[in-house]
Chain A
């Protein structure tokens, strides 16, 4: 499930280890950063992420890891 199909040249992001999902989301984040002000903070606030991930090895839960986006700056009044 990793890497390019045999024989074809993979795009640079797949060679770097990203999946299509991470590529698309990185592009979306860049587009969001290009927005003008009130829309920008609105969009950034909309896409806040927080979850806890716990991997299991051989049936035993490992230490949970928290993944979250840093909180967006507060909405500036203009």
Chain B
């Protein structure tokens, strides 16, 4: 295990209490827009966070390199960069690499070196191994074996920008307003049980999956052990990480629709199941039996995203807030309605979803066909 505490937690924070702020927008027509609106919205929830973590995920931002995995890496030690680059050259074809563009920003203290690599898995990926699986294995190797190096984004045509600071400061630092995407999520952190360090900021990522979370996943231990059996290793010292891996396992590898995955994370209670039709009962029982170890216990609201889809989900008894809203082609998700109204005062509809019911925004098929957005292979 790496000595994360010394390297990454100079603030020495340990346990504080309050909420986190979540925000997300998807334009289902596939139209790209600047990060400005999402920055404004998450900044409006400044008081939900405490400056120990802010971050953004953006989809559709690297259209000219959309066929390549974009690996964002934070280097906390000088030696970790050359060591990682030797590893990357051995396992990938690097098409392009550059420092992640940043500027001096208020409140950003001791940032790690941040680098991005556009890579292809060919010709290194062995035959018969899915490229996505190959990439995950390499990401896990970097995160568990190279001291001081952390991959915090590894999808195609998307990227995560995150670190220790308030989200508005992180946005300024990463020049988030300069990117254009059709799907944005944002997080303002108030760490509860785990340290505030750069890798521990949300959104959490694997491939193009990102997860931002408000709450506490008390089933972390059992979720983590189960996921280790499938090759996912938790290195970010934060409960939320398991959700990113779990959704990759259920949706990408096991092929479940997100609505079914939601029933794994937030299953109906047994007494509710008993009132369903026979067919629904069988489905719910089977899911609870097969995926018992992926049930997420404890209070949570998450915004999950991947290429073409954004999902909001809360725990079954809704111990953390979520408001959804629609305007034209856009779906908004937020911890607070005011942040949505700030950037779109004239909504078609705003509502508070029931606990455990996923709210899903999907790219319209037309947008995918037109080639505006690359559909997932």
Partners in one complex: no
- A→B interface (CB under 8 Å): none
B interface residues (Cβ-Cβ under 8 A, vs A): none
